[in-house]
Structure 1
Amino acid sequence: MTVELKVSSIDNHILSLSEDVTIPQAPPGFKSGFIGIIGRPNVGKSTLMNQLVGQKIAITSPVAQTTRNRLRGIVTTPAAQLIFVDTPGIHKPHHQLGEVLVQNAKIAIESVDVVLFVVDGTVACGAGDRFIADLLTRSQTPVILGINKIDQQPPDAHNIDTSYEQMALAYQWPTVKFSAKVSTGLPQLQELLIEHLDEGPLYYPPDLVTDQPERFIMGELIREQVLLLTREEVPHSVAIAIDLVEETPTVTRVLATIHVERDSQKGILIGKGGSMLKAIGSAAREQIQKLISGKVYLELFVKVQPKWRHSRIRLAELGYRVEE
């Protein structure tokens, strides 16, 4: 038996709509399922998913709360298909956007087969981790505790590890240590996740790495460069709208608008003589060219949308909604 899925894209590994792709039948004993990556902001969830998938589909930044949408990354092996759901860091929200992001992360806990609770192995278990642990105990979804950043741990990390291991023991959660940055321990993590999945079908074509359309990934790659190059000056007041993607045999033309909340932020993004906007565009274009494996012409505009993070209407217009 085969399943027909409508897909098409600049890059065959990015899901979009139009041409027929056949999903083959899974072999006997094949396992599959959805894995929610949950944790505080900046514990390395997006870096982990990129490493597991083998290519960049989620943006990373030293700025906390980088992830905004539930982004799926797909890993298919001969024995299993793992669909990772990267979620926004769970934190105390300070505006409507924060409320939406945290609510979506909570919904993800109930809509996956396994939760991978990622913590920062460079610091001991804190109040934020215990808050998430309490949320997870209210769900019936199995949990695996993942201690990340072991490559950055201090020489004597025994007390740090013990603080997490005691929490895991209290809830009878399996524990695995790894470094998403340098890939240490990731094969063991993947093996443990597969053990906790049930037998199931192939949900996606074996060579697909994400179910997000390329327009979404392009917008995220632009937003990543804004976060990296402006740091605290324009932290989370930015949203990207992809206005046009036009393909020709020689180049893909992309027009995008960067939305901010204040005129001062617009000035920072443009920079003296347009220098900052040029730097953002140049760096983002390089990333998009890697994504689509082709030449890109990228044109950026900046628009002020006052208090967009506090408006449900503005959030919806920019693609931020509470997930079903």
Structure 2
Amino acid sequence: MPLIDMPLEELKSYKGRNPRPADFDEYWNRALAELRAVDPQLEFVPSEFQTPQAECFDLYFTGVRGARIHAKYVRPRHAENRHPAVVQFHGYTGNAGDWHDKLAYASLGFSVLSMDCRGQGGMSEDTGGVKGNTHHGHIIRGLDDHPDNLLFRHIFLDAAQLAGIALELPEVDPQRVYAMGGSQGGALTIACAALEPRVKKLAPVFPFLCDYKRVWEMDLAKDAYQELRTFFRYFDPLHEREDEIFEKLGYIDLQYLAPRIKGEVLLFVSLMDTICPPSTQFAAYNKMTASKQLVVYPDYGHENLPGSGDRTMQFFMNEN
């Protein structure tokens, strides 16, 4: 089989390259304390798009640093009992997508909450306010400021907050709240379940935002990771701050949040992925201590993985 990374047996024991900041746990405990202090000021606005089987709402809530975050909320119209909910996250720079693609889950009796990431292609607000570079890219936003101002810190907290909102909805069964997404959406699925450990099941697909130094050493700081190269070229051309930069990126490296997950994990990985290299994903998967299973696509890259959507739906429908 062709290889763009390590052989599969090596991937299964790979532990990651990016440094973990010494105060990583304190960093995220402090972030969660900030989140708990926020009044979300929930607002549900009925959408013009409605169906006989499902009610559709634009959901707005206030996240950390005062940003108003938007999500699409779809719930079964005639549900008599509390029912499961799925929290969805989109790929890098995208948005929550159309209403119609949430209806399959709604037809099965699930509510669906699909978030627009702040500052990307949807309707959520980016309040900004960081020192230093804001040129092309959210991974590096805030990298020259205090670590508490990293933009992906806030986006991770938004993801956890949305799951917390789902857990508190009167129509939702809090024992059946799940999370899903691919690429950046896979990353936010992991972040969501790590920072809101009441999420019972999660199905990340080729997650982004793992093991940044490994990406760099593989010379794959391009495409979705291009901003890493851009940052060094513009702001540290001699790499005098390289150790500092990768350590700061460690705060938003999902391999170090992964051990916090309590829910059951179904992770999809494609071994020919040159956008989010397999080793970076295994760095996170191998640190997960919760019940987990891996689905490997040997011949696929960063693309649609046939059967992954069906398998995810069956995973969420299975009550066992």
The TM-score range, normalised by the shorter chain, is 0.3 to 0.5
Q: TM-score, normalised by structure 1?
A: 0.33
How does the TM-score come out when normalised to structure 2? 0.34
